[in-house]
């Protein structure tokens, strides 16, 4: 019997919203003004929806007073803090396009995004970790002709914006809001490309407002939920799946620290009685590795989101058993799709949560195609994952050729991910098409080997990359982060663990150990850097650890 094609779409009772972020925010404030909206633990800030709304309106009016208009670009360069969220909603209320800037960017990267997006006003922290933002801004300012205003959070200029806004009439803001459309661009997020400069994915009110809402719906959010967001706000995971998912349901957002800190996150969950917790698998691994994980009361947790990479089955078991997140969901997507395209459901069993990334989200279409021909493959056949629907970006900012390469004429976003759609409509991601390792003519996807290595009790995390090899073209290197108790784990033991369970060509030739992996600001492992480490090791004689 001919199998069904690898196509599916997500149905849902709720219709898509056609309003703007500012309009929806005002509606939520009118309903839940007395409820807590935002808790910045490190900053000592605690705001109800009414108090948050007052700050948002004051900043929005202050921005108008400074000459910022609908369509102008406002940059935000800061770690997680209450001011980040206030700026997000203030920009949305006047239709200014928020440009998210990675907190880890250095001078040349900052200069690039400011000029590429034509940022007129930059809101920035004074510093972050070892980065002196003020000094870097001073260096690039002469080379950024569009940049007219720099506002450091907490500075006199910052407070002047609020003061100017408080002197203005709310009717001015309402008048501007009445001119906005849900299809207007409202956010530019620069994707972290592995080669060349990043591209600015441009997203509309319609894109991210609806995506946040439906993510929250599938998490079962109500105004009683408290969502712990240790993932960065500059990324869709934080500002859409976190802030907008909570806001559209009247729930509270809890920011445990400026950047991810396992201890601060765990204590925030306990102290703030959070019902939901977000993170990539490596974050959950770090949280579970803490000695106080069994001592703190985290029984308030019910759900959460794990995204960014596949979750090892042992980690998922502990997330449910130790953290009590029985309804935790897995999400998949990309910045260009606002970001969530697929999500597991609360009733899904363990197998679906660890072997798939869920089914198509509401109002989203998914298909899997042959990357060579573009034709849809049969269910169960691997191919490139494509996404279509309300969440697909407007395009890359001022890059029409790059946009055309990613989004075809039928508005399908080509992800570059290889996946398999099963007969129930659940998607399994098997790797990046470009990350595929070809060893002696055999196609190898690292995710399969990583999943198996995670089942070893002495392995906390594993990442597999390829290195050049004269005989086979490429060879496998497994980078291992041992569990805390595993002092004696050896490369031979790791390879022996794989033999007989994986095909011989999938057994890593090289095994290296490291205390930590190089990470992006959004919590993903930088495999490019791991591959560089491996190549360096080959030259200097292959040490067994870093």
**One-character DSSP codes across 467-509:** EEETTTEEEEEEEEEE-TT-SS--HHHHHHHHBTTB-GGGS-S
Exposed, middle or buried, 402 (CB in 10 Å: 0-12/13-18/19+)?
middle
Report the SS3 class of residue 48. Answer: strand
Residue 92 CB neighbours (<10 A): 28
Which pLDDT score is estimated for 314?
A: 87
Enumerate residues 6+ apart whose C-beta is below 8 A from 131.
103, 104, 106
For residue 62 the two structure tokens come to: 């202050």
364-369 and 383-389 beta bridge pairing: antiparallel
Which pLDDT score is estimated for 194?
A: 40
Which pLDDT score is estimated for 439?
A: 83
Pair 296, 268: CB distance under 8 Å: no
Phi first, then psi: give them for residue 226, nearest 5 degrees: -130, 115
Q: Give the chain's domains with CATH numbers.
A: 21-420 (3.40.50.12780), 437-540 (3.30.300.30)
Tell how many helices (H) and how many strands (E) occur in the chain: 18, 28
**Among 465, 461, 509, which Cα is nearest to 486's?**
461
Which pLDDT score is estimated for 352?
A: 94
Q: One digit per residue, pLDDT tens: the chain, 546 residues?
A: 678 999 999 987 799 999 999 999 999 999 999 999 999 999 999 999 999 999 999 999 999 999 999 999 999 999 999 999 999 999 999 999 999 998 988 888 899 999 999 999 999 999 999 899 999 999 999 999 999 999 999 999 999 999 999 999 999 999 999 999 999 999 999 986 444 568 999 999 999 999 999 999 999 999 999 999 999 999 999 999 999 999 999 999 999 999 999 999 999 999 999 999 999 888 999 999 999 999 999 999 999 999 977 788 889 999 999 999 999 999 999 999 999 999 999 999 999 999 999 999 999 999 999 988 999 999 999 999 999 999 999 999 999 999 999 999 999 999 999 999 999 999 999 877 777 787 876 768 787 888 889 899 999 999 999 988 877 778 999 999 998 887 789 999 999 999 978 878 889 999 999 989 998 766 778 888 898 898 887 765 555 555
**Among 425, 404, 426, 406, which Cα is nearest to 415's?**
406
- Distance between first and last Cα of the chain: 53
pTM for this one?
Answer: 0.85
- Cα separation of 28 and 8, whole Å? 33
Which pLDDT score is estimated for 537?
A: 79
pLDDT tens track for 309-324: 778 888 999 999 999 9
DSSP code, position 325: -
Enumerate residues 6+ apart whose C-beta is below 8 A from 193.
199
Which pLDDT score is estimated for 539?
A: 63
- Cα separation of 48 and 82, whole Å? 12
**In angstroms, how far apart are the furthest CA atoms of the chain?**
73
- Cα separation of 320 and 425, whole Å? 24
Phi first, then psi: give them for residue 492, nearest 5 degrees: -65, -40
Residue 315: in which H helix or E strand, if any? Answer: helix 313-321
Which pLDDT score is estimated for 473?
A: 79
For residue 27 the two structure tokens come to: 């509606």
- Cα separation of 395 and 183, whole Å? 13
- Cα separation of 321 and 181, whole Å? 45
Exposed, middle or buried, 242 (CB in 10 Å: 0-12/13-18/19+)?
buried
Pair 277, 301: CB distance under 8 Å: yes
If you count them, how many residues does the chain have? 546
Which pLDDT score is estimated for 108?
A: 87
Which pLDDT score is estimated for 195?
A: 41
Enumerate residues 6+ apart whose C-beta is below 8 A from 243.
85, 88, 212, 229, 233, 253
């Amino acid at each position: 019997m001919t199998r069904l094609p690898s196509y599916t779409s997500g149905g849902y009772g709720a219709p898509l919203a056609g309003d703007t972020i500012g309009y929806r925010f005002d509606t939520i404030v009118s309903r839940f003004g007395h409820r807590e909206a935002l808790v910045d633990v490190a900053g000592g800030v605690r705001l109800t929806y009414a108090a948050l709304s007052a700050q948002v309106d004051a900043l929005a009016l202050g921005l108008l007073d400074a000459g910022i208009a609908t369509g102008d670009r406002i940059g935000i360069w800061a770690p997680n803090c209450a001011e980040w969220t206030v700026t997000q909603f203030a920009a949305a209320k006047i239709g200014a396009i928020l440009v998210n800037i990675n907190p880890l960017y250095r001078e040349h990267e900052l200069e690039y995004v400011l000029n590429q997006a034509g940022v007129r006003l930059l809101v920035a922290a004074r510093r972050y970790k070892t980065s002196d933002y003020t000094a870097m801004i001073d260096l690039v300012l002469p080379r950024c002709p569009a940049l007219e205003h720099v506002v450091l959070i907490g500075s006199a200029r910052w407070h002047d914006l609020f003061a100017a806004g408080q002197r203005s009439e709310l009717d001015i803001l309402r008048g501007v809001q009445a001119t906005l459309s849900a299809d207007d661009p409202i956010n530019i997020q620069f994707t972290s490309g592995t080669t060349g400069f990043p591209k600015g994915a441009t997203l509309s009110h319609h894109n991210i407002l609806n995506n946040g809402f439906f993510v929250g719906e599938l998490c079962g959010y109500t105004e009683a939920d408290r969502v712990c967001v240790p993932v960065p706000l500059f990324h869709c995971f934080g500002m859409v799946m976190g802030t907008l998912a909570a806001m559209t349901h009247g729930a509270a957002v809890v920011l445990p620290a400026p950047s991810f800190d396992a201890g601060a996150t765990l204590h925030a969950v306990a102290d703030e009685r959070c019902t939901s917790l977000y993170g990539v698998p490596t974050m959950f691994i770090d949280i579970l590795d803490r000695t106080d994980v069994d001592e703190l009361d985290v029984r308030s947790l019910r759900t959460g989101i794990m995204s960014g990479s596949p979750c090892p089955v042992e980690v998922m078991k502990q997330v449910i058993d130790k953290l009590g997140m029985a309804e935790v969901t897995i999400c998949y997507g990309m910045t260009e799709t606002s970001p969530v395209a697929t999500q597991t459901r609360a009733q899904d069993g363990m197998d679906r949560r660890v072997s798939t990334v869920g089914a198509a989200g509401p109002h989203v279409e998914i298909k899997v195609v042959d990357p060579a021909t573009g034709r849809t493959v049969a269910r169960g056949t691997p191919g490139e994952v494509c996404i279509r629907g309300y969440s697909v970006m407007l395009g890359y900012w001022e890059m029409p050729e790059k946009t055309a390469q990613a989004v075809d004429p039928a508005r399908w976003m080509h992800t570059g991910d290889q996946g398999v759609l099963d007969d129930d409509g659940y998607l399994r991601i098997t790797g990046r098409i470009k990350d595929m390792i070809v060893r002696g003519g055999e196609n190898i996807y690292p995710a399969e080997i990583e999943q198996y290595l995670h089942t070893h009790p002495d392995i906390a995390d594993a990442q597999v990359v390829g290195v050049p090899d004269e005989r086979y073209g490429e060879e496998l290197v497994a980078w291992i982060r041992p569990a805390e108790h595993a002092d004696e784990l050896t490369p031979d033991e790791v390879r022996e663990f794989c033999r007989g369970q994986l095909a011989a060509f999938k057994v890593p030739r090289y095994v290296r150990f490291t205390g930590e992996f190089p990470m992006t600001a959004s919590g993903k492992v930088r495999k490019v850097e791991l591959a560089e480490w491996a190549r360096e090791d080959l030259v200097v004689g292959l040490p067994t650890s870093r």
